[in-house]
């Protein structure tokens, strides 16, 4: 009988669980769930309203003639549909979520409580300013802490995610060049960058010039200098970088970039590693987005919208977008028009309103409840957790850039899987059977078969130990030649392995009404 790590028996040994077929299609208490349109009758309605008395139509013959075409669900049916779906969703609230570069940390419940305060939750962006002074004050306070933590001169609060923040920062950079009459059409992006960096540059019409990574996984000054020229508008550099390493030459790179008349955009998605330790402004950064939904614990993924404020250096501050909060005497104002911008030259407006208010409340709550020492310790612990995993696996897994300390995430490659017949993808699928969301795979692209693991500071030592023990057990199985286990995985998930190539090549984009199932005789 199989035993779990506490020595208690696990399932009673049905070897091929995947082969068990049930009549209902459900697997234990885990229900198969059809699309909301597929189960229910379209003629039924969920509410019981009396037929309206004969009324004189005033729509001039424009009344709807056909059925409204919405599924007819009762309240309990609706509830069950969404609860069952939610149970298929893996979340930070259900287990360790080691997705590198995503900083899947715990979202403290205190944040949720604060975000639900009616004074924040029930206000509207079009309310008169004097009725939302507290909300504006909160935005000002959060922006102030972001500038303090990064050592930067200004902040744009409205971008709604990291990628949106990149666009904001790059638009500020473009506006600064335009103001000087400098025409530049190239942006430097290292090979190891997140895909959003070259995408942002290309979206704005820039040509992307890639910078190769050095053998140690970092970006070299010489490579940057060689790529610089009068046509270069900016560099987009991630620090700590996507290999989980701090860029040691970042100050020199910034200097070279500035000497060439270009600006330094820093992708700040990995800020969680250095909060309270390093101020990006001191490194020469001109613009950096901060993913509140990563570093400052606001929910993301299926859990909620992102928020990507951008901090700006003094050189770029005048070009920050509208709207922004200004304090006049004791009152707060939201500056909405260029004419009110006190001589600044905003590049324009990114969003209809001011950004993700609920996320601002959560992020500020996180900051105030941690304090400066707590935020610094969170970074310390995030780095410690990643290195604990690194040190516990380094005898089995291979590290592409040698055995050296990492920041908040540890990067392995697939050299150690060579000749086992198991790939990074197979390994990740086997992790699902073991109850773990896979790590980030095949990113960054500069590393073959990359496995990027970011545990964050939220995990206890016991949780890390169990994760490590599981990965070690899987690694031993791979090395022992148990290829089938990996090729078949996931066996225990609601869906087996999908044909991803076919899904990409022949996507089915149209929902078709299913053939009605006839009840069994």
**Residue numbers at the binding site for ligand PLP (CB under 6 A):** 101, 161-163, 194, 196, 238, 242, 267, 269, 291, 306, 308
Q: Residue of minimal CB distance from ligand PLP?
A: 162
For ligand PLP, give the closer residue by CB, 260 or 383.
383
What's the DSSP call for residue 137?
H
Helices 357-393, 133-150: inter-axial angle, 10-degree rounding = 30
CB of residue 185 to ligand PLP, shortest distance in Å: 23
Q: Which two tokens stand for residue 430?
A: 């086997």
For ligand PLP, give the closer residue by CB, 167 or 260.
167
Q: In the structure, how many helices (H) and strands (E) does the chain have?
A: 15, 12
For ligand PLP, give the closer residue by CB, 31 or 300.
300
Q: Which two tokens stand for residue 160?
A: 């709604």
Residue whose C-alpha is closest to residue 432's, from 2, 94, 105? 94
CB of residue 197 to ligand PLP, shortest distance in Å: 7
Separation of alpha carbons 174 and 169, rounded Å: 9
For ligand PLP, give the closer residue by CB, 198 or 220.
198
Instruction: Give the start-end residues of each E strand in 384-521.
Output: 410-412, 440-441, 451-453
CB of residue 87 to ligand PLP, shortest distance in Å: 25
CB of residue 393 to ligand PLP, shortest distance in Å: 22
CB of residue 60 to ligand PLP, shortest distance in Å: 47
CB of residue 444 to ligand PLP, shortest distance in Å: 9
Q: What is the DSSP string of 39-89?
A: HS-SS--SS-PPPPPP----STT----S--------HHHHHHHHHHHHHT-
What's the DSSP call for residue 27?
B
For ligand PLP, give the closer residue by CB, 193 or 432.
193
CB of residue 110 to ligand PLP, shortest distance in Å: 23
What's the DSSP call for residue 472?
H
For ligand PLP, give the closer residue by CB, 81 or 293.
293
3-class DSSP assignment, residue 233: strand
For ligand PLP, give the closer residue by CB, 103 or 365.
103
Residue 137 Cα distances to 130, 134, 264, angstroms: 11, 5, 30
Residue whose C-alpha is closest to residue 303's, from 101, 94, 124, 458? 94
């Amino acid at each position: 009988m199989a035993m779990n790590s506490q020595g208690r028996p696990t399932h009673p040994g049905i070897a091929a669980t995947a082969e068990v077929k049930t009549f209902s299609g459900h697997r234990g208490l885990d229900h198969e769930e059809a699309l909301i349109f597929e189960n229910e009758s379209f003629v039924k309605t969920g509410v019981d309203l009396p037929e309206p008395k004969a009324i004189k139509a005033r729509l001039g013959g424009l009344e709807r003639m056909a059925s409204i075409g919405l599924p007819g669900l009762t309240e309990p049916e609706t509830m069950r549909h969404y609860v069952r779906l939610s149970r298929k969703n893996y979340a930070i609230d259900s287990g360790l979520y080691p997705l590198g570069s995503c900083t899947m940390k715990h979202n403290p419940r205190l944040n949720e409580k604060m975000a639900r305060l009616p004074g924040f939750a029930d206000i509207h962006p079009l309310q008169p300013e004097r009725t939302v002074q507290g909300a504006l004050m909160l935005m000002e306070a959060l922006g102030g802490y972001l500038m303090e933590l990064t050592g930067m001169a200004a902040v744009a609060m409205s971008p709604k995610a990291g990628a949106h923040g990149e666009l904001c920062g790059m638009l500020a950079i473009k506006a600064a060049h335009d103001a000087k009459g400098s025409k530049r059409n190239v942006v430097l992006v290292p090979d190891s960058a997140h895909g959003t960096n070259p995408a942002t540059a290309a979206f704005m019409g820039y040509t992307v010039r890639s910078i190769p990574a050095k053998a140690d996984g970092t970006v070299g000054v010489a490579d940057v200098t060689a790529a610089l020229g009068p046509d270069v508008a900016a560099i987009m550099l991630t620090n700590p970088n996507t290999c989980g390493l701090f860029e040691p030459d970042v100050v020199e790179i910034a200097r070279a970039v500035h000497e060439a008349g270009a600006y330094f955009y820093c992708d700040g998605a990995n800020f969680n590693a250095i909060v309270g330790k390093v101020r990006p402004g001191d490194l020469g950064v001109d613009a950096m987005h901060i993913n509140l939904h990563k570093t400052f614990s606001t929910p993301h993924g299926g859990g909620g919208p992102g928020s990507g404020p951008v901090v700006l250096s003094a050189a770029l501050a005048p070009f920050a977008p509208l709207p922004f909060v200004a304090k006049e005497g004791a009152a707060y104002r939201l500056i909405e028009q260029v004419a009110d911008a006190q001589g600044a030259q905003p590049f324009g407006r990114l969003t209809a309103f001011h950004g993700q208010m609920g996320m601002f409340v959560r992020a500020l709550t996180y900051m105030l409840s941690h304090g400066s020492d707590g935020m610094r310790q969170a970074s310390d612990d995030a780095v410690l957790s990643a290195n604990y995993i690194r040190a516990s696996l380094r005898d089995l897994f291979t590290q592409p850039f040698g055995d050296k300390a990492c920041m908040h995430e540890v990067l392995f490659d697939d050299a150690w899987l060579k000749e086992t017949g198991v790939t990074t993808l197979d390994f990740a699928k086997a992790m699902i059977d073991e109850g773990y969301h896979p790590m980030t795979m095949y990113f960054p692209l500069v590393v073959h078969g990359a496995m990027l693991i970011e545990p964050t500071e939220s995990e206890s030592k016991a949780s890390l130990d169990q994760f490590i023990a599981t990965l070690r057990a899987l690694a031993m199985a791979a090395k022992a030649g148990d290829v089938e286990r990996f090729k078949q995985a996931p066996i225990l998930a609601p869906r087996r392995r999908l044909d991803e190539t076919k899904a990409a090549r022949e996507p089915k984009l149209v929902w078709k009404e299913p053939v009605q199932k006839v009840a069994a005789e």
